[in-house]
Amino acid sequence: MAPSRFTARITADEGATWSVAAGRYRMLVSRACPFASRALIVRRLLGLEVALTVAIVDPIQDELGWRFTLDEGGRDPVLGIRYVRDAYLAADPGHASGFPVPAVVDVESGHVVTNDFATIPIDLATQWRSLHRPGAPDLYPDGRREEIDEFNAILHRDVVSGVYEVGMARSQADYDRAFTALFSRLEQLDARLASRRFLLGDRITDVDVHLFPSLVRFDLVYHGHFRCNRVKLVELPHLWGYARDLFQTPGFGDTVDFDHINRHYHLVLDESNPHHLLPGGPDRTLWLTAHGREELGGAPFGDGTPPGPPREPVPPAGRADA
């Protein structure tokens, strides 16, 4: 993941340079990218689909990066751009340190405001409250924010980035260190989830959103393609049940595009797949099997309600569900 070069905060302060306003911003995302997936989940859980529209890129990049070839004419219909990089260069013509997603763009100017994948979900949960749907969960509650930040830092180090440390290691020592940290953490999480439905208790918080995109990619991509192969997710019983519980919760699984994930990782990040062979999995029905996590009590949304049907439903999967 390229560094977050654009780190402005979009806030509830009406006098701020970048203040929250419905329709003012557009978020550029890839359904293949776990960092963008986190932002997509938060946006959906909070009911911000109308207030903050999204532009979804093709999972296959070319030499210029993420592109809008899924849209008619190969251009985003709102911003009129062909590549994510165009919004970065509009903000800074000399920018050359990568053009990652998610990125939030000011619609009027076409400039990237922020690509800070760590703070975008937090700001959606806190600064955008006036635009949240009724019954939206409090993903970043007062009194638990320090705990959430600390937990997210651990998850990011050992799991979210840890799988990339394993998969992109260039020495045996680096691989062994990251591999050990990753599976030690997964085993700790599996044990933790034996007695609690969600990571911090009886309802979802930002830490659950933070971890889920890595879990949904684990057996499909990280286990084989990234050599994270001590065990599969399905072999960690509590973590696998937890992952299915989240997947079946509105706002989580209905944002997952297995086809985009499959094609991006195996056809773009192809160093270990030189013949560009596309795996036939996963079997999505496995994610819909009973998980039994209700027996632990609690409810994903606490006293709130689930979001309604998605405004941008994931298209039926092709090869990935074969």
Instruction: Specify the pTM.
Output: 0.95
Query: Residue 232 corresponds to which tokens in the numbers above?
Result: 């599969």
Instruction: Please state whether the peptide bond connecting residue 313 to the residue before it is cis, i.e. omega within 30 degrees of 0.
Output: no
Average pLDDT over residues 170-185: 98
Nearest partner of 300 among 44, 30, 37, judged by Cα: 44
Nearest partner of 253 among 34, 41, 29, judged by Cα: 41
Antiparallel, parallel or unpaired: β 112-114 and 53-56: unpaired
Residues catalogued as catalytic: 33, 164
> How much is the mean pLDDT over the chain?
94
Q: How many CB atoms lie within 10 A of CB 224?
A: 16
Rounded CA-CA distance 45/36 in Å is: 14
Q: What is the pLDDT of residue 2?
A: 53
Chain segment 21-60, per-residue pLDDT in tens: 999 999 999 999 999 999 999 999 999 999 999 999 999 9
Chain segment 223-272, per-residue pLDDT in tens: 999 999 999 999 999 999 999 999 999 999 999 999 999 999 999 876 77
Q: What is the pLDDT of residue 259?
A: 95
Domains of the chain: 25-131 (3.40.30.10), 145-321 (1.20.1050.10)
Q: How many CB atoms lie within 10 A of CB 216?
A: 24
Q: In which band, very low, low, confident or very high, does the pLDDT at 317 lie, cut at 50, 70 and 90?
A: low
Q: What is the pLDDT of residue 280?
A: 87
Q: What three-state secondary structure class fits 104?
A: strand
- CA angle 35/37/39 to nearest 5° reads 80
The residue ranges of DSSP E strands in 122-274, in sequence order, are none
* Helix/strand/coil percent split, the chain, to 5: 40, 10, 50
pLDDT at 320 over 60: no
Rounded CA-CA distance 222/6 in Å is: 28
Rounded CA-CA distance 320/122 in Å is: 31
pLDDT at 4 over 70: no
Phi, psi at 16, each rounded to 5°: -75, 155
List beta partners, residue 104.
Answer: 27, 114
Q: What is the pLDDT of residue 321?
A: 41
Q: What is the pLDDT of residue 96?
A: 87
CB 184 within 8 A of CB 207: no
Q: What is the pLDDT of residue 1?
A: 54
Rounded CA-CA distance 226/280 in Å is: 17
DSSP letter (8 states) at residue 55: E
CB 47 within 8 A of CB 307: yes
